[in-house]
Amino acid sequence: MKLTILGSGTLFPTKERFPSSFLLEEGNVKILLDCGHEAIARLVELGFDVRDIDAIFISHFHADHIGDAFNLVWSRFVGDLYEGKERHKPLIFFGPKTLRERFYKWREIFWLEPGEEYPLEFHEGEFEYALGDINLRTFPVKHVPWFESVGCRINVGGKIIVYPGDIGSSHDFDDLVSRVQGADLLLIEADADKPSPNHFTFEQAAELAQRANVKQVV
């Protein structure tokens, strides 16, 4: 198993830190955990082909977590088109409810060839899914009240990674402890200066890791 940080910053990028995106690899399977803008550039910079990605997990609909997802699909489509390939295996999307609906609204605006299709598969809300040796289970997260958010607990060969995405102090802390319990790695956002309904503080992330017996925090 290999986890690469493509971006761990905010909606405002800097030279040192890009918006959220992580690449999880196990065997031949590659999953993106969020796909903020600049994710494609980071993948190419590291020598990956965007068509290597098997699935994308989207935690919520802020641009720093989903901004490059549509562009990635379009890039794959154009790459196959130029090489005369026909894509049969779908790109899988995991995420909150309304993900598919929102994606196709964007498609109506930006897809220049209305009759062209690209194979996609969507799984929304709370579910469990196995892709190769990677087992992914989603859970609801409180971030902002105007759309749903989800986190995920991933089991790879007995090793547990938990990624809540952006999470606020309004989320039931005991519930979150149970979701994170015993994780080998916790990927968590913690950039609030003080407790906020929409974001965690460093102190809250540290308390969560301690109470849930997490081995490592990023």
pLDDT, tens digit (0-9, with 9 covering 90-100), for 59-91: 999 988 899 999 999 888 888 878 877 776 789
In which region does residue 76 sit, left (phi positive, over 0), alpha (psi from -120 to 50) or beta (all else)?
alpha
The predicted pLDDT at position 202 comes to: 86
Q: Which of 168, 166, 200 is nearest to 59 (CA)?
A: 166
Domain range summary for the chain, segments of one domain joined by +: 2-211
The predicted pLDDT at position 22 comes to: 97
β strands within the chain, DSSP E? 2-7, 21-26, 29-35, 55-57, 91-95, 120-124, 128-131, 134-141, 149-156, 159-163, 185-186
**Using a CB cutoff of 8 Å and minimum separation of 24, what contacts does 20-23 make?**
20/64, 20/65, 20/165, 20/189, 21/68, 22/163, 22/187, 23/48
The predicted pLDDT at position 151 comes to: 96
The predicted pLDDT at position 12 comes to: 77
The predicted pLDDT at position 30 comes to: 98
The predicted pLDDT at position 80 comes to: 82
Asked if 110 contacts 133 with a C-beta cutoff of 8 angstroms, the reply is no
CA separation for the pair 21, 188 (Å, rounded): 12
CATH homologous superfamily of 2-211 equals Ribonuclease Z/Hydroxyacylglutathione hydrolase-like (3.60.15.10)
CA separation for the pair 146, 113 (Å, rounded): 32
The predicted pLDDT at position 112 comes to: 62
CA separation for the pair 145, 87 (Å, rounded): 37
The predicted pLDDT at position 86 comes to: 74
> Cα separations (Å) of 4 from 26, 30, 43?
12, 11, 10
In 3-state terms, what secondary structure has residue 193? coil
- Quick: pLDDT tens for 105-120: 888 887 766 667 788 9
Asked if 95 contacts 65 with a C-beta cutoff of 8 angstroms, the reply is no
Q: Extract the residue ranges of the chain whose pLDDT is less than 50.
A: none
